[in-house]
């Protein structure tokens, strides 16, 4: 009997460890999207994922070897994925603080070069330059995002441009096809020297750089990160010295991961989080080790400490919710958490929208704080509608969250009304004409169908 109970216990532990591989697979997917243009990396990511899954099932056949192998492979999987994120850090390219080459004399295919004082290559304001390839799928997928950045920040003095060293005919054909909706500047570098300088040995495409009006590189990375960085810079919360320290710590973390120095990896992650509590890579690594040892109590203490030190960082509350769900928190605990989180960020539309959406989609229906999430989504919409400089896509997302809340409340008519407003907001944005808009329209059709069914049933009852 004891042997059977022990076997069952170990099998339950094996199931828990499955989540580790799910998280690793998710991170690989994110890394694959970020580096989609590097075909060889794409294949490596897929191959590594398959190998991990095969090794997992093989190890599951021998429960006695499971703990040792899963811990080892778990660390290797996250080390591999993190190495992809750190790829640009270990290659030679323009780093923050270095002077960017002049782009004013290049061939401007769309959107003229801004007027600047003689001898000044950049400014006024910030310049966002993204190096792309017309034949690269990841570059094409980044264009709507760059259009969003242009629409959102152009009024705040941010100049957005994409740059390529491809031939003139190739780019002209591109601008008539996938790039026909580009509203920002498009630059061709005939010699390729400027693009090569921006890239250095960093092969990523697309690659974005934010350049200050003094011509110095402020930041470089993937287009998906631009919005977050710009918000920090414009709000005065971007600390260049702290950014440079984090940059150096990321390099140390990469080396520690490569050397399988687990304790050092944890310690460096802690130092990074002390500088930037929302640092995605450091947070993932720290939580991974808690998950790997099934230490939910440690994870709770860790996130509570971070929240105590950084109560303004709403992303930490999203992590706390995940930990609560992993520990099978009661409905009362979820309810108290939601009230506390929504109260702390009552004037922050972004926090309200993200937290409401997460609760509506992640918390099991019996415990879903529908009323609190509905109120939060309403407040997010109100705050965005008051902000004349707000972005239509942000409003559309908040309306989409509110529609979801009404749907879960059993009010498909209200859900359809708000979803229709979300679709209208998206249609005002040329950059939202792709998959996001199509998905939003499909959701509207679903709510309208439910509304029709309900009306029909009510008619029959009469």
The mean pLDDT value for 31-37 works out to 47
pLDDT of residue 57: 45
Q: Is the pLDDT of residue 77 over 60?
A: no
Domain residue extents for the chain: 2-85, 107-238, 239-294
Pick from 344, 293, 289, 272: nearest CA to 315: 344
pLDDT of residue 188: 92
pLDDT of residue 295: 83
pLDDT digits (tens, 9 = 90+) for 192-213: 898 888 887 666 688 888 998 8
Does residue 376 contact residue 411 with C-beta atoms inside 8 Å? Answer: no
112 pLDDT tier (thresholds 50, 70, 90): low
Does residue 186 contact residue 171 with C-beta atoms inside 8 Å? Answer: yes
Q: Is the pLDDT of residue 132 over 50?
A: yes
129 pLDDT tier (thresholds 50, 70, 90): very high
SS3 letters for the chain? CHHHHHHHHHHHHHHHHHHHHHHHHHHHHHHHHHCCCCHHHHHHHHHHHHHHHHHHHHHHHCHHHHHHHHHHHHHHHHHHHHHHHCHHHHCCCCCCCCECCCCCCCEEEECCCCCCCCCCCCCCCCEEEEECCCCCHHHHHHHHHHHHHHHHHHHHCCEEEEEECCCHHHHHHHHHCCCCCCCCEEEECCCCHHHHHHHCCCCCCCEEEEECCCCEEEEEECHHHHHHHHHHHHCCCCCHHHHHHHHHHHHHHHHHHHCCCHHHHHHHHHHHHHHCCCCHHHHHHHHHHHHHCCCHHHHHHHHHHHHHHCCCCHHHHHHHHHHHHHCCCCHHHHHHHHHHHHHHCCCCHHHHHHHHHHHHHHCCHHHCCHHHHHHHHHHHHHHHHHCCCCCHHHHHHHHHHHHHHHHHCCCHHHHHHHHHHHHHHHHCCHHHCCHHHHHHHHHHHHHHHHHHHHHHHHHHHC
The mean pLDDT value for 34-42 works out to 46
For 107-238, the fitting CATH number among 3.40.30.10, 1.25.40.10, 3.40.50.720, 3.20.20.80 is: 3.40.30.10
Does residue 173 contact residue 150 with C-beta atoms inside 8 Å? Answer: no
Does residue 370 contact residue 415 with C-beta atoms inside 8 Å? Answer: no
The mean pLDDT value for 70-84 works out to 47
Q: Is the pLDDT of residue 298 over 90?
A: no
CA 358 to CA 387: how far, in whole Å?
A: 24
Pairing of strands 107-110, 127-131: unpaired
Q: Is the pLDDT of residue 400 over 90?
A: yes
Helical pair 240-258 and 63-85, crossing angle rounded to 10 deg: 140
432 pLDDT tier (thresholds 50, 70, 90): very low
CA 364 to CA 301: how far, in whole Å?
A: 24
Kindly state the tokens that stand for 85. 């994120």
Q: Is the pLDDT of residue 283 over 60?
A: yes
Q: Is the pLDDT of residue 99 over 60?
A: yes
Q: What is the pTM of this model?
A: 0.59
CA 390 to CA 425: how far, in whole Å?
A: 12
Mean pLDDT (the chain) is 76
pLDDT digits (tens, 9 = 90+) for 402-415: 999 999 988 999 99
The mean pLDDT value for 247-251 works out to 78
């Amino acid at each position: 009997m004891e042997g059977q109970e022990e076997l069952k216990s170990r099998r339950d532990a094996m199931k828990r460890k499955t989540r580790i591989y799910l998280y690793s697979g998710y991170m690989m997917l994110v890394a694959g999207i970020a580096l989609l243009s590097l075909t060889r990396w794409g294949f490596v990511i897929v191959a590594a994922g398959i190998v991990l899954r095969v090794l997992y099932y093989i190890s599951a056949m021998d429960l006695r070897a499971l703990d040792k192998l899963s811990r080892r492979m778990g660390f290797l999987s996250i080390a591999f994925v993190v190495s992809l994120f750190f790829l640009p850090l270990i290659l030679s390219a323009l780093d923050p603080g270095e002077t960017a080459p002049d782009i004013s004399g290049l061939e401007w295919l769309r959107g003229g070069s801004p007027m600047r004082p003689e001898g000044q290559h950049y400014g006024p304001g910030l310049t966002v330059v993204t190096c792309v390839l017309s034949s690269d799928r990841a570059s094409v997928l980044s264009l709507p995002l760059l259009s969003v950045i242009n629409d959102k920040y152009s009024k705040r003095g941010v100049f957005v441009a994409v740059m390529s060293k491809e031939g003139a005919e190739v780019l002209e054909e591109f601008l008539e096809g996938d790039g026909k909706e580009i509203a920002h500047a498009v630059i061709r570098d005939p010699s390729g020297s400027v693009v090569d300088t921006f890239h250095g040995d960093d092969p990523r495409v697309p690659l974005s750089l934010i350049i200050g009006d003094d011509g110095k590189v402020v930041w470089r990375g993937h287009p998906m990160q631009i919005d977050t960085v710009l918000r920090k810079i414009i709000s005065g919360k971007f600390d260049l010295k702290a950014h440079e320290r984090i940059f150096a710590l990321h390099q140390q973390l990469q080396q520690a991961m490569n050397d399988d120095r687990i304790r050092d990896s944890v310690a460096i992650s802690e130092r990074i989080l002390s500088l930037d509590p929302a640092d995605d890579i450091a947070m993932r690594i720290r939580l991974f080790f808690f998950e790997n040892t099934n230490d939910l109590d440690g994870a709770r203490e860790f996130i509570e400490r971070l929240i105590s030190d950084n109560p303004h960082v709403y992303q930490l509350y999203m992590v706390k919710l995940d930990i609560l769900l992993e520990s099978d928190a009661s409905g009362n605990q979820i309810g108290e958490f939601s009230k506390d989180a929504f109260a702390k960020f009552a004037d922050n539309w972004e926090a309200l929208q993200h937290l409401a959406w997460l609760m509506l989609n992640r918390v099991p229906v019996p415990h879903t704080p529908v009323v609190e999430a509905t109120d939060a989504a309403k407040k997010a919409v109100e705050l965005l509608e008051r902000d004349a400089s707000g972005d239509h896509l942000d409003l559309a997302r908040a309306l989409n969250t509110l529609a979801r809340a009404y749907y879960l409340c059993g009010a498909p008519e209200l859900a359809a009304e708000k979803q229709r407003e979300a679709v209208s907001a998206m249609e005002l944005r040329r950059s939202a004409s792709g998959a996001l808009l199509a998905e939003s329209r499909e959701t509207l059709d679903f709510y309208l169908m439910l509304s029709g069914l309900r009306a029909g049933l009510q008619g029959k009852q009469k």
